[in-house]
Amino acid sequence: MPTVYGVNASPFVRKVRVVLAEKKLPYDLEPVIPINVSPEFRKMSPLGKIPAYRDGDVTLADSSVICAYLERKHPAPALYPADPYEFARALWFEEYSDTALVNVAGPKIFFKKVIAPRFFNQPVDEEGVKKAVAEDLPPLFDYLESQLGDGEGIAGGRFSIGDIAITSQFANLRHAGVGVDTKRWPKLARYVARTLERPSFAALWREEAAAFGTA
Ligand SMILES: N[C@@H](CCC(=O)N[C@@H](CS)C(=O)NCC(=O)O)C(=O)O
């Protein structure tokens, strides 16, 4: 059985687990917290980050690399568009999520609101969270709203790795109690709600909410 190394608080681990679920591939989750990781883990993930992945003799690091590997190894259902331009757009939204979105949703919101109080016994930096929600998120939401069409997915209208990466970040925001204003960003709000309801995301949401007490 393949193994995903990491913890369910990570949006990058979530990306890989959603791809595995969409492709109906069983796997084990081996908990690794990315602080002072072991030399063995660093052999799989030289930057010491989660997720890492083992499939027999193959080991891989980085969620985007692991998801691309899974697509080649298990092509159905396809999670990357066939059309060259839509393929590139899906990768762009993956990149956008894994850089711009996570920079705000992760350290400025999810960490302060969920991880710091629950796992580090620190008070919530409410002012910091408020500022990030008021100032940092809106331009990111404006951009996504401008890119969404009527289809299921943001790239080419079909569900893809772009949607998985975006929604993985919104799962962390939702755990932090941060939603999308339906009046200001109606398409984005509908899109996030719909994507989080997919069985692949919903099963993880239940597991995560039980672990964080955010249900
Ligand atoms: N580009 C990497 C990013 C992975 C990442 O930053 N993971 C975080 C947890 S959410 C981590 O391991 N941080 C520890 C560190 O940066 O040392 C991916 O897509 O897998």
Query: Residue 50 C-alpha to ligand 1 middle, in angstroms?
Result: 5
Ligand 1 binding pocket includes 7 (Cβ within 6 Å): no
Per-residue burial over 103-119, b = 16 or more CB atoms within 10 Å of its CB, e = otherwise: ebbbebbbbbbbbeeee
6 lines ligand 1 (CB under 6 A): no
pLDDT at site 214: 79
| Residues 6+ away with beta carbon under 8 Å from 75 | none
- Please choose, from the candidates 180, 208, 184, the residue with its C-alpha nearest in 3D space to the C-alpha of residue 194: 180
pLDDT of 164 reads: 99
Looking at the CA of residue 102, tell me the nearest atom of ligand 1: 10
Stretches in the chain below the pLDDT threshold 50: none
Separation of alpha carbons 133 and 79, rounded Å: 30
Contact at 8 Å (CB) between 115 and 9?
yes
Give residue 212's Cα distance to chain centre.
16
CB distance 110 to ligand 1 below 6 Å: no
Q: What is the pLDDT of residue 213?
A: 86
Q: How far apart are CA 118 and CA 213, in angstroms?
A: 9
Q: Is 35 exposed, middle or buried (0-12, 13-18, 19+ CB in 10 A)?
A: exposed
For residue 210, the CA-to-ligand 1 centroid distance in Å is 23
Q: What pLDDT score does 187 carry?
A: 98
Q: Are 200 and 25 in contact (CB under 8 A)?
A: no
Query: What is the per-residue pLDDT for 136?
Result: 98
In the block, which residue shows the tokens 């919101």? 109
pLDDT value for 108: 98
pLDDT on residue 34: 96
Q: With a 6 A CB cut-off, is 15 part of the ligand 1 pocket? A: no
- For the beta sheet containing 28-30, the strands, ordered from the edge strand earlier in sequence to the opposite edge, are 28-30, 3-5, 52-55, 58-61
Distance CA 21, CA 199 (A): 8
Dig out the tokens for 104 from the structure.
């705000």
- Neighbouring C-alpha atoms within 13 Å toward the C-beta of 135: 7
Q: Would you say 172 and 109 are in contact if contact means Cβ atoms under 8 Å apart?
A: yes
Q: Is 150 exposed, middle or buried (0-12, 13-18, 19+ CB in 10 A)?
A: exposed
pLDDT tens column, 111-150:
999 999 999 999 999 999 999 999 999 999 999 999 999 9
The whole-number pLDDT of residue 76 equals 98
Name the residue with tokens 């008070």: 123
